[in-house]
Amino acid sequence: MTAPLRLSVLDQSPIADGGTGAAALANTLDLAKLADALGYERYWLAEHHATGSLACTSPEVLIGPIAAVTGRIRVGSGGIMLPHYSPLKVAETFSTLAGLFPGRIDLGLGRAPGTDQVTALALQRDRRQHTPDDFPEQLGELLGYLEDRIEPDHPFARLARLPGLPHRPEVWLLGSSSQSGEWAAQLGLPYAFADFIGGGGSAIAQEYRNTFVPSHRLAAPRVIVAVRAVCAETDDRAVFLASSQQLQLFQLQQGRPKPALPPEAAARLLEENAIRPGTAPLGRRLVVGSPATVKRELERLAADFGAGEAMLLTITHDHEARRRSYELLAEAFGLPVARAAATESVK
């Protein structure tokens, strides 16, 4: 019997038009508590810099407060953009979090800068030249610290004693390209594909599974597919609410990211630009509809990826609409906590 599809949340802390970053961060805490209560598997925080539309600059800062106000859900980064950081600093930070919240911390790692080249340079301590493209070396050093497997003759070998031991975060490799899938397979790491960024993911996930090398980290391949989704009581209502996120995607394509407009204004601008409701640019996917519609599409997508888990990125102008989207899908999929609550209500 096939295991039921697990659901998780990817949060970019979206800033609504007329709102503030502080309000977006408060909404993140609120949504995390809801996801925990509904039975979602994990709650990941994205990393983006220098944008007026997202408040998610520091996943490592948000993970602690979220883990503190929730009791069951796994909390992590989706992801930490490793090229910006010292592997030792990342290892110490996530070891500390793992020590504070044993068995609940995920360290999702990405190679992309999460911003433009100028901002990436501003994030560097040394601005004399751009950071070298040495992600495999960074990743190897980071895993060495976390797993206490640094070679004795390594110059940093004595630094491997981390603060949160014996507890460790669960490491995931994130990506939207074949290269990330190859690294995850070679290292025996679980893999999360960002379908909301690019296409071709099902073939990449298949290659990851085919070439996966079992390791002390993981005996068999594990895949998460992360996708944009908006759910409402009806298909028409969902398409209307999704217009805010849909317009944002087109604005991003044009190099001018903006906060999410109210759906009335967003739908009008989409119509003026002859953009069909419910579609997304650049071959990106936007799953929109009633609970039955979205459930059917997510299950098909997960089957294509061979994924046991779907991670949902939902952006609406109104926070209550975003909450409701996650509530409806928890009910549609019969998540354990949601199912238990429904059973209790009929007693």
DSSP assignment letter at 5? P
**Rounded distance, CA 319 to CA 136, Å?**
39
Question: Tell me: the pLDDT tens digits for 142-180?
Answer: 999 999 888 888 888 777 689 999 999 999 999 998 999
Hey, what are 208's tokens? Answer: 């990851």
pLDDT surpasses 50 at 339: no
Least confident of 23-27, 72-76, 317-321, 334-338: 334-338
pLDDT computed for residue 343 by the predictor: 42
Q: What is the pLDDT of residue 157?
A: 78
- Does residue 255 carry a pLDDT above 70? yes
List domains and CATH numbers for the chain. Answer: 6-233+287-345 (3.20.20.30)
Interacting residues of 244 by C-beta distance below 8 A, sequence separation 6+? 260, 261, 262, 263, 266, 315, 316, 317
Most confident of 113-127, 136-150, 257-271, 316-330: 316-330
Q: How do residues 182-197 score in pLDDT, each as one tens digit?
A: 999 999 999 999 999 8
* Short-list 331, 328, 334, CA closest to 287: 328
- pLDDT in the model for residue 338: 52
The residue with greater pLDDT, 76 or 277, is 76
> Would you give the DSSP letter of residue 97?
H
Residue 345 confidence (pLDDT): 41
**Residue 116 or residue 87, greater confidence:** 87
Q: Which residues neighbour 340 within 8 Å (Cβ) at sequence distance 6 or greater?
A: none
Omega into 110 within 30° of 0, i.e. cis?
Answer: no
What percentage of the chain exceeds 90 in pLDDT? 72
pLDDT, one tens digit per residue, over 25-61 is: 999 999 999 999 999 999 999 998 888 899 999 999 9
Q: SS3 breakdown of the chain: % helix, strand, coil, rounded to 5?
A: 45, 15, 40
Which pLDDT belongs to residue 168?
A: 97
Give me the pLDDT at residue 125, please. Answer: 64
What is the token pair recorded at 99? 């020590």
Model pLDDT for residues 194-230, shown as the tens digit of each residue: 999 878 899 999 999 999 999 999 999 999 999 999 9
The first and second tokens of residue 284, run together, are 């990106």
Q: What is the pLDDT of residues 298-330, one digit of tens each?
A: 999 999 999 999 999 999 999 999 999 999 999
pLDDT at 1: 53
- More confident: 133 or 200: 200
Confidence of residue 126 (pLDDT cuts 50, 70, 90): low
